[in-house]
Structure 1
C-alpha cells in the first residue's frame, strides 16, 4: 500500500474520477437546500437528490465529490467506541443515467488496487443475494475469486425508501487480519466482528418502487457510491481507529497539550479526548456553513456539540474556555481542502468561544445541583430522576436534557423524560397564553375575515397607488352586510386594490376609499388565512354598498416612507454580511413608515466600530444613487442569480427578486423605491439582543431621519444655552466641567477621610465590655462603604483587641462592616457570622472572612435595634 494520508487520499480520489470525465463538485453546505426532509446533510448523495429524482438537470452526467457530513443519531456513543463520529467526509462518484454497474465496479477496483495499491488478497466484496449481474462482473470482469464474493440480504445490500428510486448495493471490504477477528472458521463480510471493514458502498439505482411495493425498472439507472474518507485513511495508515490517523491525531494531541492528560492512559480520559477531537470538527464546519447556537433545529445540534465538548473538557480538568485553541489546530490542517475555514477563522472561533463561555457560566452550578440530586437518589435507592427536577435544570440553568441524561447514565441512572416533556409543554402553553394576552386583540382581528373564503382580490399596488374598483363584500362586527354607514367600522373586499396587505414584515397600507358623497378611511390592510386581501375601514361620511364603484387611494407619503425603509433593510442585510460575515441571516423584520426593525443571526453584540461601518456602507449606497429593479423569474433562475432567500421555505415557481444594482439581490414581495437616493438618509438608533444568537437593529430613514437630526440640533442648542457656550465648544466645556467635578469629588473624599479620623476618637469612647472582650457597635451617617472600612481599620489598629461592628447610611443605602482582631478569631469569633445575624435583623444579608466582613441592609428604622444585638451575638459565638 502507498504511504498516503487523509488529505492525499481525498486529492487522489477526485483526480482519479476527474480523469474518467467526472465533474468535480465542491462539498455542498451542511445546510440542505430546498430539502425540508433533512436537518443536516448526512450522506454524500443527499445534496444531489434533485438530480437523481429528475427535479433538476445535473451540470454533468458524471460527478465526483468529497462531501462534508454530520450524523448525530449515535452521539452518545462518540468517544465510547473506535468508530462512531459526528463528522465525516464521504468520497463519492455518481452517474445520472450515464454509466452503470460494470464501470462503477471496475473503476472502484482500479482505484483501490492501482492508485492506493491495496493488495488484492486483502479485498472482499458483497452483493445483493439476487444480483447475479454484479456477481458476474466482480468474478468474470474484475477477477475476484467466487469465495471472496459474499451474497447478503436486503437488510445489508439493498437501498430503498418507502417509495421512489432504489436498488441493490455492492460493498467492498478490507480484511484487517485475524487479530481484529472473532476466530470463527466462517468469519467473512457480514460477521459482527471488526476483522472486515466496509470501506466503499456502490449503490445501483435501477428500480422505481411504487406505493404497492412493486419494483419497476428505471429507463436510465443511476450510480451512487460512497467511501468514508476517515475509514480508508485508517486502512492506508494501518491505524487502529479513526482517532489515530495522522491528521485527526494532530487535533487529539492539542487536547492532550491543553489538558495535560495523556491519551491511552485511562479509559475515561480516552473518552473525553475523543469526544472533543470529534466534536471540534463538526462544530467548526457547522459554524462555517452559517449555523449559530440556538435551542432548536441545527442551532441546537451545534449548541449540543459545543456544550458536550466543553463538559468533557471539565472532566479533563480544563477550567477555562479552550475550544477555540483546538479549532485553530483543526483549521491549520483542513484548510488544504477548505480554504474558507482559514478566511473565517476569527469569526468561527468567536462564535464557538462565545457559546462555550456562556455554558461555563451555568455548567458548574448545574452540575453541582445535579450531583446533589444524584446523592439524594443514591441515598433513597432510586434509579430514575424526577422529570420536574430535570426540567428545572434545563429551564433555570440552561442545562440540556441530553447532558443530564449522559451524566446520569455514567452513574447507571435514568431520567423521567415523559415528566420532563409534560413540564416543557406546560411552559410552552404559558408562553402561548402570554403572547395572546399581549397581542393586538382589537376589532380588526375578529372572526369576520373568515366570511370571505374563496373571494380573491387582484393586487395592483406595484404599478399604481390609486385606481377605480368595485366593492365585492362588506362585513361589520363579524357579520356579512350589504352596506356600511357613516360612523361604522368594518371590513371591505375590493375587486382590485392598490393597497399592499401586510406580509413579509411590511405593514399594510393606509389611505382612503372614496366616491362623490362618501369617504372611508383605510386604517390597515391584511391577508386572511385564505389569501383574501381585506381593508379595515372607518366610515367618515356617506354610505357604501356591495357593488359600488369607488376610488381606492393609498396614502402616498406613508407608502413612500415604508418603501424607503424596506429597501433600506435590504441594504442593511448585505452590509451586515460585509462587516460581520456570511453567517449573518435574516431572522425577522418589520417595516413601518416611521422605522425599520431587522433581526439577524450573530453570536455577540456589535462593537461601536462595526455599527459605524454598517451605517456608513448603507449611506454610501444611498449616495451612489443605485437603481432598484424588481424582476419576476423562476425560483431556479433566482438561485443562479445569487438572490438571498430562505430556500428551506416553499416558494412559488415564479418569484420576485428585488435587485439593488449588483450589491443586493433578495427574494421579496414587498414594495420598494426605484433608486437608493430616494431613501435620503439611514440612521441606526439601537442594537440589542432578543434571543441567544439573534440580534436586533432598529433604524430610521427619510423623513424620520430628518426629524431625528432636527431634534438633535434643538437639543444641542438647549445644551449650549445651559452651558453658556457656543455649539462648537460644547464638548470642551463638558470636559472642563467633568474635570472640575472629579476634583471636587476628590476634595470631598479627602474631607470625609479626615472626618473619619475625628469620628474614630468618638467611636473608641463607646467601647463595651462583653465577657472581658472589647466590643464596639456604632452608627455613622453619610459614609460610603469604602470610608466605613477605612474607619473600621483605624479603630481596629487603636483597639488592639476587640470586635467592631459599624453601620452607615449613604444616599438611602444601608451598609454594615464587621471586624474581629486575630487573637479573638482564635477564640472562635467570626466576623462573617456576626454580620450575617446583624444584617438579617434589617432584612439584609452579607458575609465574609473571620477577621473582616460586610453586608447590606434594607430597613433603616431597625439599624439601632440591630446594633444593640451585637453583644448578645458575640456572647453566643463565645459559647
Structure 2
C-alpha cells in the first residue's frame, strides 16, 4: 500500500474525483443550514440531502467533498476504546441523476488499487443479496473473484429512511490478515471479528419508498458514497486505531508533552489522553463554525466536550488551563484544508481559554459542594449519592460525574449512575429540542408559571395602541400589581410591541395609564405564543385590568425596519452578483446595525463588495413598494418566495415582496417602500465558518452619522499630522518611514546594549559532565533579539549549550541554542521546555534551537539555575 498521511489522502481523493468531472465543494459547516431536523452534521451526505430529494438544485450533477462530521451518541465510549470518536471527516463522491453503479464501482476500485496501491488480494466487497446488477459489475467488469463478493441481507446492505429515497449498497473491505481474525477458515466480511475493516460504502439510491413501504424506481437514480478519512488512514499507515495515525499522533504527543505522561504506560491514564486528543479536534472545529459554549443545543454539546476534556486533563496532572495549547496543534495541522481555522484562530483560542478558566473556577465551587454532600451522607449513614444530586453538581456547577465518583471512592461511597443517566437523558431531550433559531426569552420562574394568554400583535399596522392588562409577573411569580420602581412582565390583550424573533430585536418604548407610566425595556414571546413586555414602572402602580396606552419608540422601530428590509435587498443582490447558490444562514437586525450570514465558498473580492453595495442602493433609489400578504405555504413557494428554516412555518405564511427584486417569507416589520431605507453601507465582509460569510452593514441616518464621523476623524488626523486633508496619505507615508528608521535605530541600540551586558556578565564558560554551557538573564530584550544573541553566543563559544532569559514586565522569554555536534547529548527543545516550566510556561523547538515563554518573572533565576541540574541529568 502507498503510505500516505491523513492530509495527503484527503487531497488525493478530492483531486481524483475532480479529474473525473466532479465539482469539489468545500466542507459544509458542522452547523446544519436550513435543516431543523439536525443538531449537527453527522454524515457526509447530510448537507446534500435536499439535492437528493430534488428540493434544491445542486451546483452540478457530480460533486465530491470531505465533510466535517460530529457525533456524540457514543461520547461516553470515547477514550474507553481505540475506535470511538466524536469528530471525523467523511470522504464522498455524489451523483444527482448522472452516473450510477458502473461508474461508482469502477472509480472506487481504481482509486483504491491505483492511487492508494492497496493489493487486490486484500480487497473484498459486500452487496445486497438481491442486487445482482452490482454483483455482476464486481465480478465481470472489475474481475473480482466470486468468492470475494459477499451477499448480505437488508439489515446490512440496504439504506433507507421511513419514506423517501432508498436503495442497496455495496461496501468495500480490507483484509487485515489472519492475526486479526477469529480463526474460522470461512471468516469473511460480515463476521464480527476485527479481520475485515470496512473502508468505503457505495449507496445506490434507486428507489422512492412510500408510506405503505412500497419501493418505486426513481427515474434518475443517485449515488451517495462515504469513506471515513481516519479509517482509511489507519489502513494505509498500518496502525491498529485512529489515535496512531500521523495527524492525530501530533495532537497526542502535545498532550504527552504538556502532561509529562508517556502514553501506553497506564491504561486508565491512556483513556484521558485519548479523550483529550479526540475532543480537542471537535472543540476546535465547532468554535471555528461559530458555535459558542452554552447550556442548550449545539452550545451544550461544545461545553460538555470542553469540560470533559479539561477534567481528564486534571487526571494527567494538568491543573491549569491547557486546551488552547493543544488546539494550536489542531489548527496548525488541519488549516491546510480548513481556512476557518486560520481566519478564526484568535477567536477559537479565546473561547477555549475563557471557557476552561471558567470551568476551573466551577471545579473549586463543586469541590466545596461535594464535601457538603459527603458530610450529609455520613450523617445519614448512606453510601450512595443520588443521581439527582450528582446531576445537579454536573449540570448546575459543571462538576463531572466521573470526578464526583472518584472522590467518593476515597470515602467508600459511589454515585447512583442509573439515576444520573436518567437525569442526563432528560437533559439531552431538552437540549435536542433546543434550536439556535429559537428565541423564547424564558427564565425558570416564567416557565413554571406556564403563562398561556392569547395576545394579538398589531405592530404591523400601528406603533400606538390601547389594551387591557391580562397578567403581571414579578421575580417569577404572578402578581396583581407592580409598584413604582419595580421591574416585571406585562401581558396585554393586544400589543404593537414586536417580540424578538427571526433575527429582529425587540421593540422598546413606553406604556401609560391614568395615574402612571412605565418604560418598556424588552418584548419577548413564549413557546405557546404569549407576547410579554418587560417593563420598569417609573410612576404610579400598575394593576391587572388597567387600561393602557402603548407606544413603541418610533424612531428606533423605523431604524430597525430599515435594517430589516435591507437584509432582503442584500440577499437578492448577493444572489445576483455571486450566484444563485447564495442562501441566508442567519441574521441579526438592530436599530444601528445589522449582520447578514450567507453561504458562499470563498471570500468576496473588493470589487464584488462594491458591486453588491451599489446594487442594493440602486434598489433603494428605485423606491418600489414593499407589500406584505398572508398566503398558503405551498402557494408562496409556487410564487418563488424564498423561505428559510422551513420547519418554523405553519399553513399560512407572511410573504414580503419588494418589486421584482425580492420575495421572501418573513414575520418581521418592514418599511412601506424601498426608498424609506434611505441609503446602505457595508461595514465589513468576513468568513465565520467554512462556506459561510458574514456582512455587517447599516442604513439610513446611521450612514450619515458614519460619514460625519469619518469627516471629523479625517480633519482631526490631518491637524495632528500638520498637513492638509489632500496630502494626508503622503504625510502618513512619511511618518511611517520615519518610524521605521527610528525603530531600527532603537533595535540596533538595544542589541548593542544586550550584547555588552552579555559579554560583561559571562566572563567564563561553565561545565558539567563534560558539556560546556552558558546562561544569562537580560532585561527587556524581545524574542527576535534574544534569539540572535543566543545563536551568536553559541557560534562564538562552540561547542556549547546556551540558555538565555529575558524579563519583560510580567512575562519571561527563554531561548536555547546548542552546537549541532552536542545535540545527540542535549536537545534545545527538550531543555527549554523543562526550564520554562519552572517559570510557569512552556515551549519547544528544534534540537539546535528553541524558544519558550514563562508567566512568572520571580522564578526566572530559579529556572536559569536549574540548567546545570538538567544537564547533569
The Cα of 1:507 is off from its aligned counterpart by 3.5
Please tell me whether the aligned partners of residues 385 and 416 of structure 1 are also in contact (alpha carbons under 8 angstroms): no
Please tell me whether the aligned partners of residues 308 and 403 of structure 1 are also in contact (alpha carbons under 8 angstroms): no
The Cα of 1:384 is off from its aligned counterpart by 5.1
The Cα of 1:75 is off from its aligned counterpart by 0.7
2:670 matched residue in structure 1: 671
Tell me, yes or no, if structure 1 residue 559 matches structure 2 residue 554.
Answer: yes
For the pair shown, the structure with the greater C-alpha radius of gyration is 1
Do the aligned partners of residues 213 and 371 (structure 1) sit closer, same or farther apart at CA in structure 2, a change above 3 Å counting? farther
Tell me, yes or no, if structure 1 residue 103 matches structure 2 residue 114.
Answer: no
- How far apart in 1 are the matches of 2:344 and 2:355? 17
Please tell me whether the aligned partners of residues 61 and 96 of structure 1 are also in contact (alpha carbons under 8 angstroms): yes
The Cα of 1:379 is off from its aligned counterpart by 11
Please tell me whether the aligned partners of residues 280 and 326 of structure 2 are also in contact (alpha carbons under 8 angstroms): yes
- How far apart in 2 are the matches of 1:533 and 1:395? 30
Do the aligned partners of residues 337 and 649 (structure 1) sit closer, same or farther apart at CA in structure 2, a change above 3 Å counting? farther
Alignment of 1:601-612 (within 5 A): none
The Cα of 1:559 is off from its aligned counterpart by 3.1
SS at match of 2:232: helix
1:143 matched residue in structure 2: 143
SS at match of 2:165: strand
The Cα of 1:418 is off from its aligned counterpart by 7.8
- How far apart in 2 are the matches of 1:16 and 1:82? 30
Do the aligned partners of residues 118 and 311 (structure 1) sit closer, same or farther apart at CA in structure 2, a change above 3 Å counting? same
SS at match of 1:416: helix
SS at match of 2:203: strand
Q: Which structure has the higher relative contact order (CA within 8 Å, separation 6+)?
A: 2
Do the aligned partners of residues 85 and 657 (structure 1) sit closer, same or farther apart at CA in structure 2, a change above 3 Å counting? farther
Do the aligned partners of residues 420 and 141 (structure 1) sit closer, same or farther apart at CA in structure 2, a change above 3 Å counting? closer
Please tell me whether the aligned partners of residues 180 and 193 of structure 1 are also in contact (alpha carbons under 8 angstroms): yes
1:204 matched residue in structure 2: 204
Do the aligned partners of residues 150 and 303 (structure 1) sit closer, same or farther apart at CA in structure 2, a change above 3 Å counting? same
The Cα of 1:417 is off from its aligned counterpart by 3.5
Alignment of 1:241-252 (within 5 A): 241-252=241-252
1:845 matched residue in structure 2: none
Do the aligned partners of residues 288 and 533 (structure 1) sit closer, same or farther apart at CA in structure 2, a change above 3 Å counting? closer
The Cα of 1:365 is off from its aligned counterpart by 4.0
Please tell me whether the aligned partners of residues 24 and 64 of structure 1 are also in contact (alpha carbons under 8 angstroms): yes
SS at match of 2:559: helix
Please tell me whether the aligned partners of residues 88 and 230 of structure 1 are also in contact (alpha carbons under 8 angstroms): yes
- How far apart in 1 are the matches of 2:677 and 2:290? 32
Please tell me whether the aligned partners of residues 44 and 91 of structure 1 are also in contact (alpha carbons under 8 angstroms): yes
Q: Which runs of 5+ in 1 are unaligned?
A: 451-456, 479-489, 513-522, 535-553, 573-583, 602-619, 682-698, 707-879
Alignment of 1:643-682 (within 5 A): 649-650=648-649, 656=656, 669-672=668-671
The Cα of 1:528 is off from its aligned counterpart by 13
The Cα of 1:236 is off from its aligned counterpart by 1.0
Q: How many residues align?
A: 584
Please tell me whether the aligned partners of residues 564 and 668 of structure 2 are also in contact (alpha carbons under 8 angstroms): no
1:171 matched residue in structure 2: 171
- How far apart in 1 are the matches of 2:252 and 2:219? 49
Do the aligned partners of residues 351 and 459 (structure 1) sit closer, same or farther apart at CA in structure 2, a change above 3 Å counting? closer
- How far apart in 2 are the matches of 1:60 and 1:597? 36
Tell me, yes or no, if structure 1 residue 434 matches structure 2 residue 433.
Answer: no
Tell me, yes or no, if structure 1 residue 277 matches structure 2 residue 272.
Answer: no
Do the aligned partners of residues 21 and 433 (structure 1) sit closer, same or farther apart at CA in structure 2, a change above 3 Å counting? closer
2:751 matched residue in structure 1: none
Do the aligned partners of residues 297 and 155 (structure 1) sit closer, same or farther apart at CA in structure 2, a change above 3 Å counting? same
Please tell me whether the aligned partners of residues 331 and 342 of structure 1 are also in contact (alpha carbons under 8 angstroms): yes
SS at match of 2:271: helix
Cα shift readout 1:70-118 (whole Å, capped 9, x = no counterpart)? 0110011111111111000000011111111111111100100011110
- How far apart in 2 are the matches of 1:360 and 1:423? 26
Q: Aligned match of 2:419 in 397, 412, 416?
A: 416
- How far apart in 2 are the matches of 1:671 and 1:511? 23
SS at match of 2:68: strand
Please tell me whether the aligned partners of residues 510 and 551 of structure 2 are also in contact (alpha carbons under 8 angstroms): no
SS at match of 1:63: strand
Q: Which runs of 5+ in 2 are unaligned?
A: 432-441, 471-490, 513-519, 533-548, 568-583, 598-612, 682-697, 706-873
2:127 matched residue in structure 1: 127
2:17 matched residue in structure 1: 17
Cα shift readout 1:305-345 (whole Å, capped 9, x = no counterpart)? 11011011111001110111111111111111112211211
Alignment of 1:357-436 (within 5 A): 357-367=357-367, 369-370=369-370, 385-394=385-394, 397-399=397-399, 414-417=417-420, 420=423, 434-435=445-446
2:214 matched residue in structure 1: 214
Do the aligned partners of residues 257 and 221 (structure 1) sit closer, same or farther apart at CA in structure 2, a change above 3 Å counting? same
Please tell me whether the aligned partners of residues 41 and 47 of structure 1 are also in contact (alpha carbons under 8 angstroms): yes
- How far apart in 2 are the matches of 1:658 and 1:256? 60
Cα shift readout 1:725-784 (whole Å, capped 9, x = no counterpart)? xxxxxxxxxxxxxxxxxxxxxxxxxxxxxxxxxxxxxxxxxxxxxxxxxxxxxxxxxxxx
1:319 matched residue in structure 2: 319
Please tell me whether the aligned partners of residues 234 and 240 of structure 1 are also in contact (alpha carbons under 8 angstroms): yes
Cα shift readout 1:147-186 (whole Å, capped 9, x = no counterpart)? 1111112221111111111111110011111222222222
The Cα of 1:362 is off from its aligned counterpart by 1.3
SS at match of 1:235: helix
SS at match of 2:218: strand
Do the aligned partners of residues 23 and 408 (structure 1) sit closer, same or farther apart at CA in structure 2, a change above 3 Å counting? farther
Cα shift readout 1:776-803 (whole Å, capped 9, x = no counterpart)? xxxxxxxxxxxxxxxxxxxxxxxxxxxx
Please tell me whether the aligned partners of residues 383 and 413 of structure 1 are also in contact (alpha carbons under 8 angstroms): no
- How far apart in 2 are the matches of 1:680 and 1:98? 43
2:350 matched residue in structure 1: 350
Do the aligned partners of residues 270 and 224 (structure 1) sit closer, same or farther apart at CA in structure 2, a change above 3 Å counting? same
TM-score by length of 2: 0.56
Cα shift readout 1:239-298 (whole Å, capped 9, x = no counterpart)? 121111111101111111111101111112211111111111111111111100001110
- How far apart in 1 are the matches of 2:41 and 2:426? 32
Q: CA RMSD in A?
A: 5.7
Do the aligned partners of residues 403 and 127 (structure 1) sit closer, same or farther apart at CA in structure 2, a change above 3 Å counting? farther
The Cα of 1:666 is off from its aligned counterpart by 12
Alignment of 1:355-754 (within 5 A): 355-367=355-367, 369-370=369-370, 385-394=385-394, 397-399=397-399, 414-417=417-420, 420=423, 434-435=445-446, 504=501, 505-507=505-507, 559-567=554-562, 649-650=648-649, 656=656, 669-672=668-671
- How far apart in 1 are the matches of 2:242 and 2:393? 35
The Cα of 1:366 is off from its aligned counterpart by 2.3
The Cα of 1:364 is off from its aligned counterpart by 4.0
1:341 matched residue in structure 2: 341
1:188 matched residue in structure 2: 188
